[in-house]
A and B are shown apart, each in its own frame.
Chain A
Amino acid sequence: MIRILVAKPGLDGHDRGAKVIARGLRDAGFEVIYTGLRQTPEAIVNTAIQEDVDGIGLSILSGAHNTIFPKIVELLKEKNASDIVVFGGGVIPDEDIPALKKAGVAEIFTPGTATSDVVNFVNNNVKARA
């Protein structure tokens, strides 16, 4: 069974987008651990390790993606957990995407992405571990 952590780092005030994605992943048959708003990168990584997830989906609207996404990838590396696939979505300008991918974020979904695209991505790129 594939387990995905859906997390919202940063100071966003609402999590509608994250909930839509969580629901879409649930309906595709994945177990989604959802942790709510305002998570620090450290808390997200600790949670991912305790929950032994296969992937982390990050949602961010506030514009802090260029610092927060690479930070999470870095922390996972420090904890020897680079096998966890990190992907993200939210209000992210196209010009930021290459640098984020270079930093180790597997995929970025921009506004207007269909839930089925995210599901397809998980099916093709995230493997259950056990």
Chain B
Amino acid sequence: MNREKLVEKIIEGDVRAAARLMRIVDDRSQDYAEYMRNIWPHTGKAAIIGITGAPGAGKSTLTDALISSYRKQGMTVGVVAIDPSSPFSGGAILGDRIRMADHAMDQDVFIRSVATRGHLGGMSVSAIDIAAVLDAMGKDIIIVETVGVGQDEVEIASVADCSVVVTVPGLGDDIQAIKAGILEIADIFVVNKADREGADRTARDLQMMLELAPRHGEASWQPPVIKTVAFKNEGIEELRESINSFLATHKGDKKSARLLYAAQGIVKERVFGEYFTNSKLNEAIAAGGHDPYKAVDTLWSNFMKLG
């Protein structure tokens, strides 16, 4: 299938065509950039929702419940579910779909599992492109479920129109709640597994953190703290309504941040993939008497000559 035909079929909503381009983009094979160049102009209609939080916080179960909730509203849903790659073999077990099995037969739900393939930051290099394909094929809502994160993986905030940070009771005291990093990016907080002991305390700690200061200068939105029990479907409607009210005033705010993030990704890939590859760096380090600065200077001057 030629490039124009594939892109055309994706815009018509064809599942196989979309799945195929996601592979091309994920593997960075063929002329993936040429495909994406034809996809990006068809994006911008969908609302992208980011779900992030620690491993085991319940991101997949929450995503599953949100899919059901949006489907009841008659909306179509795409999901990008990211899990880690092995640093040793490069392989991965992508298991987020286990929690989303109920949607396997729904033609209006497209779930794609993606491995990080060495990328840090909570996403994969391809995740933003895969979300763009889902957008171009006409999904109303796109949920990007990050890999389980720690404190500092905040890339999702550059991509999602609404970032939901999921935590669970018992992960730490009120000092954890005022630390910098992931807690600052939340447009909405979820305390999942709220039937467990300590849920009220966790919600209160987050609430207090939020009351200390308006979030990065914005007075118009105070992130709510919503308690959910995702596997019992408790709190999900409240969460969806909260996402909706955030999007009502903020959808579109991330458009330029998203494009910048995509562009930064392309720069990193080109620079590290073509000019500062590990083998070139290793060579330069060895040749330059094991001085990392000297090694980079040598490669840098070659790089500058290219322009």
Listed in ascending order, the chain A residues whose CB lies under 8 Å from chain B are 1, 3, 22-23, 25-36, 38-40, 42-44, 46-47, 49-52, 79-81, 128-130
Contacts and interface: CB of A to CB of B under 8 A. Distances in A.
Contacts of A28: 89, 91
6 contacts: A28-B91, A29-B89, A34-B97, A49-B15, A52-B19, A130-B26
A44 to B, nearest CB: 8
A81 B19 CA distance: 12
Given A43-B104, A52-B23, A35 B91 contact: no
Interface stretch (B111-119, B218-226, B289-297): B111-119
B27 A128 contact: yes
Question: What is the interface of chain B mostly: helix, strand, loop, or mixed?
Answer: mixed
B113 A51 contact: yes
B23 A26 contact: no
The bracket for how many chain B residues form the interface is 20 to 34
B182 interface: no
B143 to A, nearest CB: 14
A90 B102 CA distance: 25
B21 to A, nearest CB: 9
Contact of B97 (A30, A47, A80): A47
Contact of B111 (A25, A31, A50, A80): A50
A35 B94 CA distance: 9
Contacts of B95: 34, 36
A72 to B, nearest CB: 13
Given A34-B98, A36-B98, A51 B93 contact: no
A116 to B, nearest CB: 14
Contacts of B92: 26, 31-32
Nearest to B19: A52
A40 B27 CA distance: 29
A46 B103 CA distance: 10
B44 interface: no
Interface in B40-99: 85-86, 88-95, 97-98
Given A39-B101, A47-B104, A130 B90 contact: no
B91 A33 contact: no
B19 A50 contact: yes
Contacts of B89: 26-29
B175 interface: no
A44 B105 CA distance: 9
B101 A43 contact: yes
Nearest to B30: A130
B94 A31 contact: yes
B27 A130 contact: yes
B255 interface: no
